[in-house]
Amino acid sequence: MNTQLLIEPMSIQQLLDKNFFIPSYQRGYRWSPQQIKDFLNDIKEFEPKTNELGEKSWYCLQPLVIKPMDANAKTTFNLDESKDWYEVIDGQQRLTTLFLVVHYINEMWKGKQKLVEFSLRYQTRANSENFLKQLEVDEETDTVAINDQNIDFHFISTAYNTIHQWVMSFSDRLETLDTGEFESKLIRHTKVIWYETDSDSVEVFTRINVGKIPLTNAELIKALFLNNSNFADVKDKDKAKIKLKQLEIASEWDRIEYTLQHDSFWYFLNNKSTTTTRIEFIFDLIANKLEKSHDEFYTFRHFVEKLKESSIKEVWKQVKQCFQTLEEWYNDRKLYHKVGFLVATGSRIKDILDSSRGKSKSEFLNDLNQKICDAVISKDDISMLKYRSEKIRPILLLHNIQTMLNNENETNRFPFDRFKKEKWDVEHITAIAEEPPHTDKHKRDWLDEVRNFATKNVLKPELREQLEAVSLDLVNFDDFYRNFLKEFEDNQGEVDNINNLVLLDTHTNRSYKNAVFPMKRNTIIEREKAGIFVPICTKNVFMKFYSEDVSQMSFWGEKDKELYFSDLNNTINSLCNTSN
């Protein structure tokens, strides 16, 4: 079987009467003193907050993955058969640390009113349970004796000593540690994610530890949704009906995940990839998780609380509605391009979702247009923007997108996935006055490009002679470089103006650095023939689509720049003027 029997947040107080068995496939206890201190500091600094229902928030530890042990297993490992025992599949390092802290609280703070301590039995250490219970601080030395009987006991006794030294450090700094408050935060307001399974223990352990694939928020939430105990609305707990509902959710879950795995859909909504299950993105949206949240299980905790207030049916309906809205936007050509542009230029998809609520499609489109214009229009005239301006890239992107949208017969869509994965640059159309290549290798690479160009294009005899001469020994390379650029570039005007800039993927950009206009044009043509996406406006520039005189294909002149900018300016203004 491969099921979760139970998944829920469980306070440390709820763990205290339980019995845990650490199997031999687990590595020994290895937490460092710094990890111990970090854990203690996290508990101390956590401040429980009270919500509108009067419930206090809790500090969430990573999952404790366990499997109930049957009678045969208890007999095999010589465990008390009258008690319930749990095999620890993942989380034994945290569990051992928790035991040590609880034991320290009992020994040093509680007197006769001690807390119950959960049992820990290590398969590889026959007397481990007694060793743990006998840990103590030496009154004379005020330290814990480090036990070197074996490596595990060494690390455990060192950890216990670290706990004591951490507590004592407050008096050394003339500070006060409120022991009652610390105990309350740990015992009542700290919880582990109790993940109970009946799957094969070694398989689960291998997946989590050897494969380095930790349980994600999405997997924990899925276990919540498929947990039998959460189907309280099913009459008489009809097992067949519960199974049917679980299969329905699992099937819909798989379809959502499958759709999000398509990069064209994913990068329409996101600017980065993810190594986790992509459906987690939908849950994060609903939970309103901030990108930089340090709470690793924020989203899981949100759904735990949500399922206290609402049924599985209602919560899952919200998940489906969120996904379906995004899918509708993706399938609508206008919404796809407008939402995609905003996401690509830094807008949060959560904010766009919120702004769409209660609006008709036309109202939503007008709202998107206004947001788009706010993103690209500034107090400065577009014509005055320079190469380094942060507005250049969004404006060039919008020019490409809006050009595609304005053509009602066009069915192609802007590939946001390639735009984000291939790292596109803002590139000069006509070469800027750069230094010639410095190394011999770079010089010869550049000359190879020129020779390739010369085989397909007319080159003045004197330039062709210089090319043949300089190719032999690189003597007079700099002179030839300058003469070649001068021949093909109209150097009037400012090269950093927006009328001399286009978008290009990084690879193409690198491949024609220092190249003149006709060489760049050839590169663009060859890459498009090879099936590489070239933005429509970039292609239009090098095909002289905006120009009146296409007989001169050797350089990008002032008239070309003027007409290119006119199209860019009119395209953006036609959108923004109608949205005001």
| pLDDT tens digit sequence for 436-490 | 677 787 778 777 777 776 776 667 788 888 877 887 677 788 888 777 777 766 5
pLDDT of 233 above 70: no
pLDDT of 40 above 90: yes
360 and 396 co-located in one domain: no
246: in domain: yes
pLDDT of 246 above 60: yes
Q: Please tell me the distance from the alpha carbon of residue 298 to that of residue 284, in angstroms, as a whole number.
A: 9
Q: Which of 204 and 390 is assigned the larger pLDDT?
A: 390
Q: Which of 229 and 440 is assigned the larger pLDDT?
A: 440
Q: Please tell me the distance from the alpha carbon of residue 259 to that of residue 263, in angstroms, as a whole number.
A: 9
Q: Which of 413 and 527 is assigned the larger pLDDT?
A: 413
Q: Please tell me the distance from the alpha carbon of residue 67 to that of residue 87, in angstroms, as a whole number.
A: 5
Length of the chain: 580
Q: Of 187, 213, 239, which residue is a domain's last?
A: 213
207 and 235 co-located in one domain: no
Residue 167 pLDDT: 95
> H or E stretch including 64?
strand 59-68
277 and 407 co-located in one domain: no
The set of long-range contacts for 463-470, using a CB threshold of 8 Å and a minimum separation of 24, is 463/487
Q: Which of 130, 139, 128 is nearest to 164 (CA)?
A: 139
Q: Of 316, 341, 376, which residue is a domain's last?
A: 376
Find residue 505's DSSP bridge partners: 424
Highest mean pLDDT among 346-350, 388-392, 520-524: 346-350
Q: What pTM was estimated for this model as a whole?
A: 0.73
Q: What value, to the nearest 5°, has the Cα angle with vertex 224 and ends 222 and 229?
A: 140
Range of lowest pLDDT (111-120, 337-346, 419-428, 547-556): 547-556
Residue 1 pLDDT: 41
Q: Please tell me the distance from the alpha carbon of residue 537 to that of residue 566, in angstroms, as a whole number.
A: 13
130 and 243 co-located in one domain: no
Question: Per-residue pLDDT tens for 309-323?
Answer: 888 899 999 999 999
Sheet with 190-197: list strands edge to edge. Answer: 4-11, 190-197, 59-68, 85-90, 19-22, 119-122
Mean pLDDT rounded to a whole number for the chain: 86
220: in domain: no
Cβ burial of 535 (10 Å; 0-12, 13-18, 19+) is: buried
61: in domain: yes
Q: Of 376, 404, 430, which residue is a domain's last?
A: 376
Q: What percent of the chain has pLDDT over 70?
A: 89
CB atoms within 10 A of CB 145: 13
223: in domain: no
39 and 20 co-located in one domain: yes
> H or E stretch including 6?
strand 4-11
Q: Please tell me the distance from the alpha carbon of residue 479 to that of residue 474, in angstroms, as a whole number.
A: 10
Confidence of residue 580 (pLDDT cuts 50, 70, 90): very low
207 and 244 co-located in one domain: no
218: in domain: no
292 and 425 co-located in one domain: no
Confidence of residue 511 (pLDDT cuts 50, 70, 90): low
The count of domains in the chain is 3
Highest mean pLDDT among 23-32, 154-163, 229-238: 154-163
222: in domain: no
pLDDT of 533 above 80: yes
Q: What value, to the nearest 5°, has the Cα angle with vertex 61 and ends 60 and 67?
A: 120
524 and 405 co-located in one domain: yes
Kindly state the DSSP code that residue 36 receives in the 8-state scheme.
H
Q: What percent of the chain has pLDDT over 90?
A: 47
Residues 6+ apart with CB under 8 A from 63: 90, 91, 192, 193, 194, 195, 215, 220
192 and 264 co-located in one domain: no
387 and 368 co-located in one domain: no
285 and 402 co-located in one domain: no
495: in domain: yes
Question: Per-residue pLDDT tens for 176-202?
Answer: 899 999 999 999 999 999 999 888 887
Strands 85-90 and 19-22: parallel
Range of the domain at 52: 4-213
Question: Per-residue pLDDT tens for 71-112?
Answer: 999 999 999 999 999 999 999 999 999 999 999 999 999 888
Torsion of CA 464, 469, 473, 478, to 10 degrees: -60
Question: Per-residue pLDDT tens for 344-378?
Answer: 999 999 999 999 999 999 999 999 999 999 888 76
pLDDT of 208 above 60: yes
**Single-letter residue type at 375:** A
388 and 370 co-located in one domain: no
Strand runs (DSSP E) across 286-409, as ranges?
A: none
295: in domain: yes
Q: Can you tell me the mean pLDDT for 256-272?
A: 95
**Helix (H, G, I), strand (E, B), or coil: what is residue 140?**
coil
Kindly state the DSSP code that residue 228 receives in the 8-state scheme.
G
- Give, rounded to a whole angstrom, the gap between the first and last alpha carbons of the chain: 60
| 144, 156 Cβ separation under 8 angstroms | no
Range of lowest pLDDT (134-143, 231-240, 281-290): 231-240
Q: How far, in whole angstroms, is CA 209 from its chain's centroid?
A: 21
Residue 503 main-chain phi, psi, to 5 deg: -95, 140
Max distance between CA atoms of the chain, in angstroms, equals 103
pLDDT of 578 above 60: no
Strands 190-197 and 424-428: unpaired
